[in-house]
Structure 1
Amino acid sequence: MTSITGAADRPRLLLVASGMQAYREYLLASLGSHYRVHLFHTVEPTWELPHLDGWTVLENTIDGQAMAAVARGLHEEAPFAGVLCWDEGRIHATSHIAQELGCRNGDPLVIWQLRDKAQTRQALGRAGVPQPKSVPVSTVEQALSAADSIGYPIILKPRGLGASLGVVRVDDAEALRRFFPFTRDTPAPDPVRYSTDAPVLVEECVTGEEISVDAVVTDGRVVPLFVGRKTVGFPPYAEEVGHLVDATDPLLYDDGFRALLQHTHDALGFRDGWTHTEFMLSAQGPQLIEVNGRLGGDLVPYLGLLATGLDPALIAAAAACGRSSATIPTRRRVAGVRFFYVDVDDTTIGLVTVDRAQLPAAIDQAVVLADPGRTVSPPPKGTVWGRIAYVTAVADTAQECQAALDIATKAVHYTRA
């Protein structure tokens, strides 16, 4: 364990895993300016160092009970005000730490119910939350039977992965036979294990606009902070290739939608922390896709910050510590992101460049993700790790924001090695 002397008047916060620098450093930087952040990680920190008060290198950050034992010793030396994690594969392990230390969001059964999408479906089904029909299966024969019962098209979905890994639309039995191994065998980026009896969900394919809602929950009260409108590409897969966040999104002020969001959280027993909830806005109304007990992935929280002025890192940390925080937007803008990929599988990058002279004034960032010599692929093989660059934009209207992203697309280029 390594510690750095920090300002004693700042609360001490335990963070489990830091994530990818390109997607998470802004969050850690914000935390570091208001909290004494102690990081649990599997390697010595590098880019994280300026934002840390201390760190502990562990064999893994998946074993919640082992981490809880280490955290208990640190807590006795200098108490933690809260425990935070924004990595999907580690939120359940983190809940064991919170439980051990008596912090908020410390109920592993509740968090596991969110991680295990089959349990999510069961709990919400009992509560009458509108959602697609869903059947957990283990074999292609069971999947075919479930699909016949639900009706094509259907969605094949892993029971507990994130980032749309392994998710694919299937239109008929032949396609189901072809794609079932893809969903079943999609590797997890972490070693978390789900039920081996039924690792795949066969779900009704509901259509419409897919959205996400990032919210803070305090003592069971859900406050939606911003809505992300998704752009999904590479059909029949479900790769998220862009997001748009409007601080004045009408769903934020829709009493019926807010009541549905509250009812969903009540049904799952989630009472403290941050959630990222996904819906499909179908012709029959909002259909719940999933609830994640963490900050939104990709750059969704960053877009929320740009659009609303609300700092997701500080609000999430406050919820973890049982402290109040401001949730009224200080900005009324629209922010968006677009991700870029190579054209063919197994492309070895020569150079990724951005012609910044072509970027319109509304562009906020243009970030290269792939270094020379790296081999990448588009979805489904590449997924989030196959991205080579992204651009973000902020403007007064959705139309202006999208137009800026369209122009920026022409400024991003890559060569093959």
Structure 2
Amino acid sequence: MTTERPHLLVIATGWQVYREYLLRSIGERFRIHLFHVAEPTWENAYITGSTVVPSTIDGPAMAEEARRLHERDPIDGVLCWDEARILPASYVTEALGLPGGGPAMIARVRDKGQTRAALDAAGVAQPRSVPVTTLEETLAAADAIGYPVILKPRGLAASLGVVRVKDAGELRDGFTFASGAKAPDPVGLDFATPLLVEEYVTGEEVSVDAVVREGEVTALYVARKVIGYPPYAEEIGHVVAGDDPLLRDPVLLHALRDTHDALGFRDGWTHSEFILTTDGPRLIEVNGRLGGDMIPYLGLLATGIDPGLAAASAACGLAPDVEPSLARTAGIRFFYPAEENTTVASVGFAEERLPDAIDQVSPMVLPGAVVSPPPAGIVLGRIAFATAVADSAAGCREALESAEGALVVETS
């Protein structure tokens, strides 16, 4: 019987402050080989090998490099948590015959238009959605659906380009905003109709992080969103309760399973977003990766279920440990500059004003950065964050509000 740790290929790592906790956990039980565009730095503490590749966006080229690595040291699984790279990573899993799905399946998740079509065919409850290209098509679709509507780029993430419009006058400006939104990295998909006009549905917005193995979907964390800067959809925070009743809600769990079945997603990790309407949950979107905004980290604090180990296990075809050991509440809050085009000299927190419930605080910009609040600074306008752990959502909110009061920003 072999005792060697499984060999996991990780494609890109992202920002250290957001993702180091994942590598730290995975490195304890898996041998990690990293594909990156530069020599590893902080990652070296957790990996056993690395390859510098010309691009982590070029899926076929990475697949060839992975084949060569696989011949020398067989790979047991492939893991990627970067939205722009989950489609390129799928070329690697397909080439090596590993769990995770190939490009056709991942494209159904990555492309919000394909997601809508697949769910519509399967009868999954979701907002009405019409793909469009021109302003005239957008106006016609909005008239057919009925105002207010949501404009959404079909290939972006992190709420980039998403805006709610209440009438035709606002739609004209909203169309310019949505169609002009750009991703930091190439999307890797061609869209004949790049925008979606969607029905505006009301209710609490939540996300569900789930691990999937051989088609069995297990919901691990429910994050309740804190939305700011209307009419834009900026997520300024999240709260995760280890004993959230939605984890046992049969209607939501049924919708989650039906969503994965419709998309053909059988192995890996997903981050699905729902709005809880008075008529039941409505699927907003699905992401074929671990949730962003440190939501899996909040889940770890709240439940004790380690997201890095669970995701790595699923990627290698192993049974993940999904038994909670805690029942706490964890939250995160992001902070923004007050004015557009703010030049930041320094960001910090007055430690003596932070309550005991604060887990960590961190700046998110370097001195000299020029940042703006939304809409100019959707996601990229964040200058700091704080996380908290408490016995209740109210306790988390109170601690995070105190952290905001302790934030010290100097401008130049």
Counterpart residue identity of residue 105, structure 1:
G
**In 2, Cα distance between the equivalents of 1:378 and 1:76?**
49
Q: Is the 8 A contact 2:7 2:77 kept in 1?
A: yes
Please, which of 280, 296, 300 is the counterpart of residue 305 of structure 1? 300
Aligned-pair CA distance for 1:126: 0.8
Aligned-pair CA distance for 1:79: 0.5
Aligned-pair CA distance for 1:8: 8.1
Q: Tell me whether 1:22 sits opposite 2:13 in the alignment.
A: no
Please, which of 128, 132, 141 is the counterpart of residue 133 of structure 1? 128
Give the structure 2 partner of residue 4 of structure 1. Answer: none
Aligned-pair CA distance for 1:285: 1.2
Question: Between the two proteins, what is the percent identity of the paired residues?
Answer: 57
Alignment of 1:312-323 (within 5 A): 312-323=307-318
Counterpart residue identity of residue 90, structure 2:
S
**In 2, Cα distance between the equivalents of 1:205 and 1:195?**
26
Counterpart residue identity of residue 209, structure 2:
D
Match of 1:384, SS state, is coil
Give the structure 2 partner of residue 200 of structure 1. Answer: 195
Q: Is the 8 A contact 2:156 2:187 kept in 1?
A: no
Counterpart residue identity of residue 89, structure 1:
A
Counterpart residue identity of residue 340, structure 2:
D
Give the structure 1 partner of residue 161 of structure 2. Answer: 166
**In 2, Cα distance between the equivalents of 1:237 and 1:265?**
28
> For 1:315-351, what per-residue CA distance to the aligned partner results, in whole angstroms no more than 9, with x for missing partners?
0000000011221100000000000010112111011
Q: Tell me whether 1:416 sits opposite 2:411 in the alignment.
A: yes
Please, which of 378, 402, 410 is the counterpart of residue 407 of structure 1? 402
Q: Tell me whether 1:385 sits opposite 2:385 in the alignment.
A: no
Please, which of 370, 377, 387 is the counterpart of residue 375 of structure 1? 370
Counterpart residue identity of residue 219, structure 2:
P
> For 1:254-294, what per-residue CA distance to the aligned partner results, in whole angstroms no more than 9, with x for missing partners?
12221111111111100000000000011221100011110
Alignment of 1:75-114 (within 5 A): 75-114=70-109
Give the structure 1 partner of residue 335 of structure 2. Answer: 340
**In 1, Cα distance between the equivalents of 2:395 and 2:7?**
41
> For 1:227-256, what per-residue CA distance to the aligned partner results, in whole angstroms no more than 9, with x for missing partners?
000001111111110000001111111122
Counterpart residue identity of residue 179, structure 2:
R
Structure 1 residue runs of 4 or more that deviate by more than 4 Å after TM superposition: none
> For 1:168-206, what per-residue CA distance to the aligned partner results, in whole angstroms no more than 9, with x for missing partners?
001110111112121112111111243342100000011
Counterpart residue identity of residue 281, structure 2:
P
Tell me which moved more, 311-320 or 173-182: 173-182
Match of 2:42, SS state, is coil
> For 1:129-179, what per-residue CA distance to the aligned partner results, in whole angstroms no more than 9, with x for missing partners?
110000000000000000000000000000111111110001110111112
Give the structure 2 partner of residue 331 of structure 1. Answer: 326
Please, which of 332, 354, 377 is the counterpart of residue 359 of structure 1? 354
RMSD over aligned CA atoms reads 1.2
**In 2, Cα distance between the equivalents of 1:238 and 1:256?**
25
**In 1, Cα distance between the equivalents of 2:310 and 2:191?**
37
Give the structure 2 partner of residue 3 of structure 1. Answer: none
Q: Tell me whether 1:41 sits opposite 2:36 in the alignment.
A: yes
Counterpart residue identity of residue 228, structure 1:
A
Give the structure 1 partner of residue 52 of structure 2. Answer: 57
> Number of paired residues?
411
Q: Normalising to structure 1: TM-score of the pair?
A: 0.97
Tell me which moved more, 149-158 or 20-29: 20-29
Alignment of 1:253-332 (within 5 A): 253-332=248-327
Counterpart residue identity of residue 18, structure 1:
T
**In 1, Cα distance between the equivalents of 2:108 and 2:320?**
27
**In 1, Cα distance between the equivalents of 2:103 and 2:366?**
39
Match of 2:198, SS state, is strand
**In 2, Cα distance between the equivalents of 1:120 and 1:235?**
25
**In 2, Cα distance between the equivalents of 1:15 and 1:371?**
27
**In 1, Cα distance between the equivalents of 2:221 and 2:240?**
7
Q: Is the 8 A contact 2:86 2:288 kept in 1?
A: yes
Q: Is the 8 A contact 2:201 2:277 kept in 1?
A: yes
Counterpart residue identity of residue 225, structure 1:
L
Q: Is the 8 A contact 2:311 2:320 kept in 1?
A: no
Give the structure 2 partner of residue 116 of structure 1. Answer: 111
